Structure 1
Amino acid sequence: MIQIVVPIFNAFEVTHKNLQSLIKHNYDDDILFINDGSTDQRIVNLLENLPAHWEVLHNADNIGFVKTANIGLKHSVGHSVLLNSDTVVSSHWLDRFKLAINTIERLGTATPWSNNAEICSLPKTLSQNPIPTDIDQLSSELMNHLPQYPELPTAVGFCMLVTQQAKEQVGYFDETTFGMGYGEENDYSLRVAKHGLRNVLVDNCYVAHVGNQSFKEKSSKPDQGTMQRLLDKHPEYLNLIQKFIENDPLSELRESIIGKISAF
C-alpha cells in the first residue's frame, strides 16, 4: 500500500497543474492533500472539487512543511510518497516506485529523476533544467531502461518515498531542529543509512519539478544556519556530499539514459 501525500501552501497555479496530473495518472490511488493554512481562497475552492475518494486535511494555521509532512507520514501505516505541490507526475511513475519497493531489500527512501532535483536532475546534474514538453513520452521511453537503483547519499524532498520499514525503524522528520523546512530530508536520509536502510534513485521514473514555490511566498530559503543545524547532527554530511559530487557515480547512468530519451 502506498499513500501519496501532498502538502500545500498557496502557489495556486502550480498546485492546479499538480492536481491535474494526479487526476490523469493516479485517479484510483490513495492520495492525501494537506492544506497548511493557505491564505489563497482559491486553494480551498480547488480542494473542494477533488474526486470524492481522495482525502483532504486542513491545518488551522500555517505550521510549516516539516510538521505538515509528518502529519501525512503518520496518516498511513504503509508506505508514503511525499509529493510537493509544485510537481507534475508522469505516466506509470507510481508503478516504478512499487517495483522498487518489491525489488530492493531494506529500502528506506527513494527519489525519481527530475528536471530540477539537485543530484537527481536530468539531463544536467545539480541544475534546474527546463521541463520537457511531453513528460509522459519521456516516461514511456524510460520503460525501456532496466533500473539499477543506485545508492544516494540523500533523498531529494520534492518527491520522496518513505517506506513503512523506515517509519518503523527511523521515525519521522525532525520538527524541532528543522522548523519550517530545509534540511529535514537530508537529516532523515542520513538517519535511514545509519539504521542500515538504503536511499536510492528510482532511475526508471521521472517527475517534473518547478521548484520552491510555496517557500518563495514566505521568503524562506536555506542559509548558513540551515547547514549548521544539519552539521550539528551530522558532521560528516559535507564531506559525504562533496565526495559524491566529485566522483559523480551517476554520470554513466545519466549519459546512457540521455542517449535513449528523445526529449534530451
Structure 2
Amino acid sequence: MIDVVVPIFAGFRQTERCLRTIMTVANQSAFRLILVDDQTPDPKIGLLLSGFEGVSHVQIIHNSDNLGFSRSINIGFHQSKNDVIILNSDTVVTDHWIDYLREAAYSKSSIATATALTNKGTIVSVPEFNRDYELPHTVTPQSFSDLLLRITARKALAAWLPTCVGHCVYIKREAISAVGGFDETLFASGYGEEVDFSQRIKKFGWQNVASLKTFIYHSGSASFKGQKRIQIGQHKKIIDQKYPLNRLSTRLFILLPNPIKRICHELQKELVKDPHAE
C-alpha cells in the first residue's frame, strides 16, 4: 500500500481535475488517498471533498486552522505507516504514475525519493529543461506521457537529482522514519522544504532521483508576487546558509550533461515532427 498525500487549500477547478484523474487513471499499485483540507476558504472545495466521504480508500483530514503546506504534509506523514507520495493539488496524473514512481524509487536500495518529470518543475521540467512549458491545446497530459514513454522505453528507470521537487515526489517510509518530516518551523508555508528534506536524508546515505518514465502535468503559478516572492527569497537564504554546497551541486547539475537534458532534446524533436504528440 502506498499513501498519496494531497494538501488542499484553494483552486477548485485544478483540485477537482487532480482528484478526478487520481481516481480514474490506470495503476497496478494499491494506494490510499489522504486529502488534507488546510481550512479551505472555498465552499466549492468543501463540497467536492464531501463527495469523497465514505470512499473506502480515501481519508479526509480537516485542519482546525490554516497550518500551511509543510505542516499539512507532516499530518499526512503521521497518518501513514507506508511509503508516501506527495502530490500538489494543481497537478494532473497519468496512467501508471504510481507504478513508475515506485519502480524508480526501488531501482536501488540507496534511493529515498523519486520525483516525477513535469512541464513546470525547474530541474525536472520537460521538454524544456529548467524552464516552464505549457502544453499546446492539442496535447493532453496523457498523450505527452505516452510520448515520453516511447522515448524512455529503453532508458534507465531513474536519474540522480541534487534534490527532490515537491510537485510530485515518492518518499520511502524508511527515509521518513530516519529524518522525520518537513521542517515546519522554518518552512511552514513551503518553498524550500523539499530541498531541506533532501539535504537531511543525504546525511543518512540516501539519494534523490527523477523517475524518467513518469510525467505529471503541473499547472503551477504564473508568477510569484508580493509576500510569496519575499518568502521564497528568505527561504533560499536559509537553504544557502544551512547547506552551502547545495547551490553548487544544483548549478553543476544544470550546466553539465544529464539524462533529463537528453530526454528534453528527444522530446523537442518529436514535438516538431508531431506537434499533436499522439
| TM-score normalised per structure 2 | 0.87
Equivalence for 2:55: 52
Question: Are residue 173 (structure 1) and residue 168 (structure 2) matched?
Answer: no
Equivalence for 2:16: 16
Rounded to whole Å, the distance in 1 between the matches of 2:257 and 2:37 is 37
Rounded to whole Å, the distance in 2 between the matches of 1:219 and 1:17 is 28
1:83-124 deviation digits (Å, cap 9, x = unpaired): 000000011111101222332212211111111010111110
Verify the 8 A CA contact 1:178 1:229 in the aligned structure 2: no
Matches within 5 A, 1:121-136: 121-131=125-135, 133-136=139-142
**2:160 aligns to what SS in structure 1?**
coil
**Structure 1 residue 193 displacement after superposition:** 1.8
Verify the 8 A CA contact 2:3 2:34 in the aligned structure 1: yes
Equivalence for 2:169: 160
Change (3 A) 1:63 1:218: farther
Question: Are residue 228 (structure 1) and residue 237 (structure 2) matched?
Answer: yes
Which stretches in structure 2 are left out of the alignment for 5+ residues?
none
**Structure 1 residue 253 displacement after superposition:** 3.4
**1:151 aligns to what SS in structure 2?**
strand
Rounded to whole Å, the distance in 2 between the matches of 1:110 and 1:234 is 21
Equivalence for 2:144: 138
Equivalence for 1:66: 70
Verify the 8 A CA contact 1:147 1:202 in the aligned structure 2: no
| Percent pairwise identity | 30
Tell me the amino acid that sits aligned with residue 230 of structure 1: I
**Structure 1 residue 258 displacement after superposition:** 4.5
Match of 1:78 among 79, 82, 101: 82
Match of 1:117 among 121, 126, 132: 121
Aligned length: 263
Rounded to whole Å, the distance in 2 between the matches of 1:139 and 1:224 is 33
**Structure 1 residue 70 displacement after superposition:** 0.8
Matches within 5 A, 1:81-120: 81-120=85-124
Rounded to whole Å, the distance in 2 between the matches of 1:99 and 1:142 is 16
Equivalence for 2:34: 32
**Structure 1 residue 64 displacement after superposition:** 0.2
**1:223 aligns to what SS in structure 2?**
helix
Verify the 8 A CA contact 1:146 1:204 in the aligned structure 2: no
Verify the 8 A CA contact 1:6 1:84 in the aligned structure 2: yes
Which stretches in structure 1 are left out of the alignment for 5+ residues?
none
Rounded to whole Å, the distance in 1 between the matches of 2:64 and 2:225 is 18
Match of 1:252 among 254, 257, 262: 262
Rounded to whole Å, the distance in 2 between the matches of 1:102 and 1:244 is 23
**Structure 1 residue 140 displacement after superposition:** 3.0
RMSD over aligned CA atoms reads 2.3
